[in-house]
Amino acid sequence: MAEKTVKDTGEFGCIRKITHGFINRPEWVKLGSGDDCAVYTVPDGMDELISTDTMVEGIHFTAETMGPCDVGFKLCTSNFSDVAAMGGRPCGFVISAGLPENLPLAWLEACYDGIREACRRYGVNLLGGDITGSPGGIILTGTVTGMVPADTAVKRSGARAGDLVCVTGHPGDSGAGLEVIFRKEERKFPRLAEKHRRPKPNPELAWKLRELGASAMDDISDGLSSELNEISHASHVNIVVDGEKIPVSEETIRFSQLIHQDILHFPLTGGEDYELVFTIPRSAAHRLQTFSEVHIIGYVEEGNGVVQLKQRDTMHILKPEGYHHFEK
């Protein structure tokens, strides 16, 4: 028996298949999916945040690199990470899906299983969206709304001379994980493959870092070198980073050695970790000691938007070398 496709099911049949288990924080929703618009609210004293991110088959994922449940999960977390980078909490999510007509209905249902899993994990309401046809591959666009206490959102432009530069977690694991998948080394490095397929941003940690006084913040979506340059340019300062202080996981070190790659290659140029890179006044350094996932890697000085990487006794300019669309 032929596998049922989205064409066989039709637009509204697909919608009926996937629209369940959408609301995780009912106190923020006045009207959920089903009408022309959803109606939601945020508590008094909060600013609203909004961001959008797209995943395109053949660019962000393939059948080789990610299953449909992983794609749905990652669509959510890549968006939720943008809210975390502002020191906020995600609260609502809508999805626009462009689907080829021969896509198996089971793929769509599994993708939404991943979406529901991520929304439950982060307490986010799925408020609706749109389904349309695609003449090519799968195109998924998510738009997230979030909240942050009024006038406290952490921008990229707030870094000041004398601030410390910090990162969370182990940047580079996701980029290494993608290479692990391509090289079919998952049995040796399963955690790295999982880090690529299921990155997990930490909005609660970002919220606390904002409360501690983080002056600038960005999520690591395009590689640490790219995000550091974004902060330095936006803040009109120079940043100096000590390569020996960049936290690289044992798995990424072992994999890098296996393929004869520089240890800092994946942390600096790999993307989609959705860890945080931020600056914070030195006066707050002692309060960072309670967060084991936070690592101090450098400092901010007066300047005009240059990032320098110190390695042993040498210093060189660190250019943005992560993934950028439309560049060869």
Binding residues are 36, 51-53, 60, 82, 112, 129-130, 156, 219, 221-222, 272, 323
3-state secondary structure string, 87-150?
Answer: CCEEEEEEEEEEECCCCEHHHHHHHHHHHHHHHHHHCCEEEEEEEEECCCCCEEEEEEEEEEEC
Which parts are annotated binding residues for ATP?
Answer: 112, 129-130, 156, 221
Please name the residues in contact with 56: beta carbons below 8 A apart, sequence gap of 6 or more: 137, 138, 139, 140
Which parts are annotated binding residues for Mg(2+)?
Answer: 36, 51-53, 82, 130, 219, 222
Q: Residue 35 gets which letter from DSSP?
A: B
Q: Residue 61 gets which letter from DSSP?
A: B
Residue in the block written with tokens 């209905």: 105
At residue 178, what is the residue type?
L
Which parts are annotated binding residues for substrate?
Answer: 60, 272, 323
d(CA 39, CA 96): 18
Please name the residues in contact with 14: beta carbons below 8 A apart, sequence gap of 6 or more: 6, 99, 105, 108, 131
181: left (phi over 0), alpha (psi -120 to 50) or beta: alpha
